[in-house]
Amino acid sequence: MVSLSDIRAFFRGSISINEPLAGYTSMRIGGPVDYFMEPADKDDLVSIVRYFRQNKFDFIMVGRGSNMLVSDDGFRGAAINLEEKFSDVRLEDGDVVAEAGAGLSKLVDFCIQHGKAGLEWAAGIPGTVGGAIVMNAGAHGGETADQLVEVEVLRGSEIVTVPKSSISFGYRRSGLESDIVLSGRFRLPEGDREEINQRRRTFIQQRNASQPVNMPNSGSIFKNPSGNYAARLIDAANLKGKRVGGAQISEKHANFIVNTGNATASDVLTLIDLARRTVYQNAGILLELEIRLVGFPNDVREKVA
Ligand SMILES: Cc1cc2nc3c(=O)[nH]c(=O)nc-3n(C[C@H](O)[C@H](O)[C@H](O)COP(=O)(O)OP(=O)(O)OC[C@H]3O[C@@H](n4cnc5c(N)ncnc54)[C@H](O)[C@@H]3O)c2cc1C
């Protein structure tokens, strides 16, 4: 364990001790993290990351926690969040540059205000730009990598700008998992504001109609297998509505698990395991997790990931 007084000697951002991560995930599930930290600026971030790496102290990046399941025991280490000080979205030489802590909704709003088209698919996805770049989030036929030109990352202890051509983006992955994403530069065509706004509205309406948006969840639990849909497979396995403790496979969208009020991570994991086993027995397809597991021991991760 690194010492809090040592950290406080140089870290200028905010630190909360034993902060329950449930408050920082869209599932509203997760035990405490030793230190929840919001760096004051890039130098502060570089210093703390260097210190953690030198001292072999575990840390994770947390955006809006909308694509993760955090263990009931929490995470031994630090969680670093960039929403407070790294959330600027601006125009630079005609490109839209968005910092990692900015919400996707802020990015989409900014694009509409400035008549920049192409990111409307992200409307209604409750994550940050950093989380979307690392996950290569996507919807409605678009994905984050499409209009990205370059990404600024903290790699090792250096801040570097990586062109998209050097990043191995794929379906819900980026190869940036060992980096800390600081910002992304998007090159977007000009578009008619009203038309862009209309597309955003349509996408949000479609989400509201098909997803359990009024209950805590973490989006799609599994990736869609090639040529198929995880939701269709789980539905065909008769698991829609299946409950374990406070967790339930959504009646509205079978690839979502909702927290009906008092779900634990363990309830969710049991449903994940059940869905994987049943779909495999029924259809011979092994579903792969889309959400990231945080704070679970290796044997648990290996069972479901
Ligand atoms: C209702 C709902 C609908 C959703 N719909 C979609 C959808 O249509 N398409 C889709 O792709 N996803 C969807 N998601 C999932 C999720 O919103 C996206 O994956 C989102 O981009 C994750 O962003 P986040 O900030 O919440 O990331 P988090 O969940 O906080 O983190 C996700 C991963 O990224 C890492 N990470 C976060 N920030 C950084 C950073 N700055 N640097 C390095 N690593 C970082 C984390 O460590 C973690 O491994 C949905 C989720 C919900 C709840």
- Tens digit of pLDDT for each residue in 103-140? 999 999 999 999 999 999 999 999 999 999 999 999 99
Give the Cα separation of 51 and 73 in Å (integer).
25
Ligand 1 center–CA 6 separation, angstroms: 31
Statement to judge: residues 15 and 115 lie in one domain: no
Q: Is the pLDDT of residue 221 over 90?
A: yes
The closest alpha carbon to 163, from 146, 144, 185, belongs to 185
Q: Is the pLDDT of residue 48 over 80?
A: yes
Residue 86 DSSP symbol:
S
* pLDDT computed for residue 303 by the predictor: 82
Give the Cα separation of 11 and 80 in Å (integer).
12
C-beta separation of 204 from 124 below 8 A: yes
* pLDDT computed for residue 304 by the predictor: 82
Q: Is the pLDDT of residue 261 over 80?
A: yes
Statement to judge: residues 58 and 145 lie in one domain: no
* 3-class DSSP state of 73: coil
Residue nearest atom 31 in ligand 1 by C-alpha distance? 131
Instruction: Give the tens place of pLDDT for each residue, 139-198.
Output: 999 999 999 999 999 999 899 999 999 999 999 999 998 999 999 999 999 999 999 999
Q: Is the pLDDT of residue 227 over 80?
A: yes
Residue nearest atom 21 in ligand 1 by C-alpha distance? 132
Residues 6+ apart with CB under 8 A from 295: 21, 30, 31, 70, 71, 73, 74, 75, 76
Task: Provide mean pLDDT across the span 73-79.
Answer: 98
Burial pattern 60-88, b for ≥16 Cβ within 10 A else e, equals bbbbbbbbbbbbbebbebbbbbbbebbbe
C-beta separation of 11 from 39 below 8 A: yes
Domain count, the chain: 3
Token pair belonging to 127: 């994550």
* 90 is a catalytic site residue: no
* pLDDT computed for residue 1 by the predictor: 73
Give the Cα separation of 137 and 184 in Å (integer).
13
CATH number, position 155: 3.30.465.10
Statement to judge: residues 157 and 68 lie in one domain: no
* 210 is a catalytic site residue: no
Catalytic position from the list 172, 185, 200, 276: 172
Statement to judge: residues 284 and 218 lie in one domain: yes
Backbone angles phi, psi at 256, to 5 degrees: -110, 140
**Residue-range definition of the domain harbouring residue 18:** 4-80
Q: Which residues line ligand 1 (CB under 6 A)?
A: 26, 60-68, 82, 100, 125-128, 130-132, 134-135, 137-139, 180-181, 211, 213, 217-219, 292
Q: Mean pLDDT for the chain?
A: 97
CATH number, position 51: 3.30.43.10
* pLDDT computed for residue 302 by the predictor: 84
Res. 2 pLDDT band, cuts 50 70 90:
confident
* pLDDT computed for residue 3 by the predictor: 87
